Structures are given as C-alpha cells and as structure tokens.
Structure 1
Amino acid sequence: MQDILGHLQRLGMSGYEAKAYVALVAAGRPVNGYEVAKRSGVPRSTVYETLGKLVARGAAFEVRGAADATDYRPLPPEALLDRMRREFDGSVDALRDALPAVAGAPEGHLIHNLKDGGALLDRAEDVVAGARRGLVLSVWPQEMARLDGPVRAAAGRGAEVSVMAFGDLGDLGGPRGGERIYEHRYSAPEAVLADLGYRLLVVVGDRREAVVGGFGGDGSAWGIYTADPAVALMAAEYVRQDIALQILAERVGGDELNRLFATDPGLLRLLGRR
C-alpha cells in the first residue's frame, strides 16, 4: 500500500488525494465522503476538499447516492494510468523543446562527483537512456544487472552499442539485438580486480557525456559524471582500446601477445617496465 501511495504522489497527487483515490478503488462501489475518510484516514475536515480535487483532475466522479446525497466513484485505475502517462509524456515533449530555448549558455562543461553506488548507477542509467547514436560501456555483471534493460533499449532505438564485460554476463549477455559484447579474457577479471581493487564502470553516450566510477568489495563506491566531450572521448577510447586488445588476443593468441609485451621496447616503455 505504501508503494502505491508513493507512486501516486510521484505522479502528482498529494498524500491525501492518493489515500482517498485508493479508498475509492478499494470500495468497489460509490461511497460518500464520510466513508472515504473512515477507509483512508484522510481527516473528515478535509476529505470533501480532497475529493473535490480528485474530481477536478478527473480521477473521481460525483454520483447521486441515497437521499440525493453525493457519493464518489473513481476513474478506473487503467484509465487513470493511461491519462497520467499521456499527460506526463506531453509535458516531457513540451519541456524538451521549451527548456533549451530559455537555458543560458553554460560557463563550462558540467562535471560533478557521485557520492555512492546508487547515485553512480542512476547517473549511468541517465547516460544510457540519453544515447542516440553510440553507447560504449566497460562493466561487470553486478552493475550490468541494473543497466541491462536500458542498454537493450538503446540498441533497440538504433544506437551502436559496444560492451566490454568483465566476467560472464549470463542471461544479461543474450540474446541481444544490435549490441556487440566482448568478454574480457586476456586478463582474467579476478586478476583485474586484484590489481585495481575495485570494479571499474565506464559508460559513454554519443561521445558527449560519460560516467566513470568504481565499486569496492566493501560496498564503497565513487564516481564522476561529465558532459565535457573531450573527457567523454577519452573514456570511450579507453574502452575501445580495451576491446581492440581483447580482439587482438583472440586473433594472435594470448601467449604471443604476452611475448610482445615482454620484449617489445616500445610496449615496455609505455608500460613503465624499463
């Protein structure tokens, strides 16, 4: 019940309106204000005002009851939710055009810290949802569990999706649509985790915004979001280079790649081994 009330409030109802509407739905028949107050916990002093607001928003209707009294019945839940969806989508579409028109020129590219794992995944999901042309991810199964649906949706709307997976994604790995998923085998995920000490998450949308962060084994998390295209490009290239290395290892073999890394002067210098 608390979940229902919370969702109705997030969609624009006040706490009293949500309680009164749920009471009307649960009654299964027209009821008067006194009974709504008794069923919902809305104070009798405000129940008729609350019902009036539901009627004004079209979520309830007045009907004539016994002795010409006024009873109330709800708009059926399916119809209410369809109406709310239409109104919400209409507002989003209007704001999509209107807000950029009044926005001032930014003084600099947005960048901010993400203080915990929830904020990090929320912002990562925002980047995935905003991607229209390209989406690049470096991700572990724990975080892909949250991002899988939005990633599939991005591929479904035509974004080119490339995923570097540290570990077997299982059901999260397929069947897929337009995504290209590469499992990191050249360095075992356990070795990467032991080396870094955390699970690195990189999400880049359209090479214009990025989330980079890490999840520690103790439940800690850190991260940043940036809309700086230069930083986003670097983050995307980091993942693409990792994917390229994985493809190269599969083509020439891990042993040959290890030999090159151990003997080539240029690679040794880049790796800081000489």
Structure 2
Amino acid sequence: MSMQDVLEHLQRLGMSGYEAKAYVALVAAGKPINGYEVAKRSGVPRSTVYETLGKLVARGAAYELRGAADATDYLPLPPHSLLDRLRREFDGSVEALQTALPSVVAAPEAHPIHNLKDGEAMLARAGDVLAGARRDLFLSVWPQELRRLEGQVRQAAGRGVEVSVMTFGKAADPFGEDRVGHVYEHRYSAPEAVLQDLGYRLIVVVGDRREAVVGGFGRDGSAWGVYTADPAVALMAAEYVRQDIALQILAERVGADELNRLFATDPGLLRLLGRGRAPNGA
C-alpha cells in the first residue's frame, strides 16, 4: 500500500488531509518531535501545523510532551491503539444509528428506484443488496461479475443467509469448501446462445425479495442497470432466477433431449418461447 493510500484511508476514518499527514509524520519519526519538525516532514504549512496537531491531540491521536523552557513535542498514539479506538467508535456509532435513524426517517411516498450509470455503480449497488440481505439472496450472474462479488456472497452465506447463484458459464465456487450456498451452472440454454440472443451479460441480484439490482454488461464495455426497493419488482426478479434454476435442475434430471422434445411439440411452450425454437438453440 502506498503512502497516498494510507493518507486516503485515514481521511475516510475521519481525519482531515492535514491531520492524516501530521499523524503519519509523527509515527514515522519514531520519537517525539515539535511542530516545526512535523511541518517539515509532513508538508503541512507551518501556519496551520499547531492547529492541526491540536486537533490530533483533541481526538486522542497524539499527545503533548512538555519539555524544558515550555517547549512542546508531540507523540502519536500507536497505530494499533488508534485503529482499535476508531473501530470501537465506529461500531458504537453504527449501533446507535441503527436505533436512532429509523425513528427520524419519513415513510417514502413511493418505493425508490434509480438508474445505475455504469458497471462500477451497478456492482457497488449489488454489493449493498448483498450486505443488506438477512433471509435469502438470488443471483443470476456471469463469471466476470461473480468474481467481483464473491467475497460479499460468501459473507452473506456465512451469516446464515440462504444464497442461490445461477452462473452463465464455469465459475469458481464462491463458497469454497464451506458449502454454505447453492451454485448452479447455466447449461440449458448454453451461455454462448444466451449472449448471442441478448447481446449483453445480464446481472440480477435480489435480497430478501424486497430489493434488487438488474442490469447488463455490453461486449463493448458499456453497462446499464437499475436499483429498486419495490417488493413487487424484486419478487419478479427473484422468481426469474428461481425458475431458471428450476429449469436447469429439470434438464439435468430428465435430459436436455426430452426437454427439447417437449418444447418442440407443445404449442403453449412454443408460444412462451416466442421464437419458435427450443431454449438451447435446437
């Protein structure tokens, strides 16, 4: 991790840019140093370095050491102690807000729905759905996207969420040896045929049948999608994944040839297909 990464992470945990630079300078010094040395080592302007150090002292990230002639040196709180303290403060704030925030939130006039402008936004919002699930998750994804989400999928299963994943193509099992979720590979229809028909890689992520992310990744690198907390839409998205999984299981049990025969000879099934051919392209 670069020094810039360290500074950015400290800022994400609540420090200002100057505070992060000053703290890192104190830690790197290995001994108490005065404000002049902090400014010289960190790049914090001399005009603001003492104000910055005062803020670090106020938050408990540094300590003042009074020396001879009223000279003041500064000593950092050791990094492991700082991180433990920040973690406790963060966890305490989250716990307090879990109780406090719902009491001030007005009931929405309508279930939220919003567009997702690109692939990164879509995967980030899908991660939110994965993190928020408490009962069940349904995913229909391609290996490229599953690799980005597998850590959060595994975490959800680890906290007791029932996870069902449909993959379009061979993908690494996100559950590893834990076997705490269910993964199905899409063979009927073949992923290549699906991609040829749609022209993009569809992604569906549904949490607790109350919120969903649905979108697509184009072959040219483009991506589009929506997030919705409309339970009716989320339920339909979950049923899409559930029924696709059921079809894969059925094809494995009775054989693809028998399913092809049924699709080819039943007018009702042909009408639902809408293309006058069996699902696997036959």
TM-score (normalizing by structure 2): 0.94
Structure 1, gaps ≥5 residues long: none
Give, in angstroms, the shift of residue 270 of structure 1: 1.3
- Do structure 1's residue 62 and structure 2's residue 26 form an aligned pair? no
1:64, distance to aligned residue in structure 2 (A): 3.0
Contact 1:199 1:216 in 2 (8 A): yes
Counterpart of 1:183 in structure 2 is 185
CA contact (8 A) 2:153 2:174 kept: no
- Mapped to 2, the partners of 1:171 and 1:65 lie a distance apart of 60
- Within the candidate set 100, 103, 124, 1:101 is matched to 103
Return closer, same or farther for 1:273/1:218 CA change in 2, 3 Å cut-off.
Answer: closer
Seen in structure 2, the aligned counterparts of structure 1 residues 84 and 10 have a Cα distance that, compared at 3 Å, is same
Q: Which amino acid aligns with 1:152?
A: R
Query: Partner of 2:74 in structure 1?
Result: 72
For residue 116 of structure 1, report the CA deviation from its aligned partner. Answer: 0.4
Q: What are the within-5 Å matches in structure 2 for residues 205-216 of structure 1?
A: 205-216=207-218
Q: Which residue is 1:129 aligned to?
A: 131
How well do the aligned residues superpose, as a CA RMSD in angstroms? Answer: 1.2
Shift of 1:14: 0.6
- Contact kept in structure 1, 2:33 and 2:74, CA below 8 Å: yes
Deviation at 1:66, TM superposition (A): 5.4
The one-letter amino acid of 1:5's match is L
For residue 185 of structure 1, give the secondary structure of its aligned residue in structure 2. Answer: coil
| TM-score (normalizing by structure 1) | 0.97
For 1:32 and 1:87, the matched residues in 2 are separated by 28
Whole-Å Cα distance in 2 between the matches of residues 51 and 92 of structure 1?
28
Matched length = 274
Cα distance in 2 for residues equivalent to 1:51 and 1:273: 70
2:177 alignment partner, SS class: coil
Q: CA deviation at 1:195?
A: 1.1
Q: Post-superposition shift, 1:173?
A: 5.8
Cα-to-partner distance string for 1:215-266 (whole Å, 9 max, x where unaligned) = 0111100000000000000000000000000000000001111111111121
1:14 and 2:24 correspond: no
Partner deviation per Cα, 1:153-191 (whole Å, 9 max, x = no partner):
111111110000111112546334421000111222111
Unaligned 5+ segments in structure 2 are: 277-282
Identity %: 82
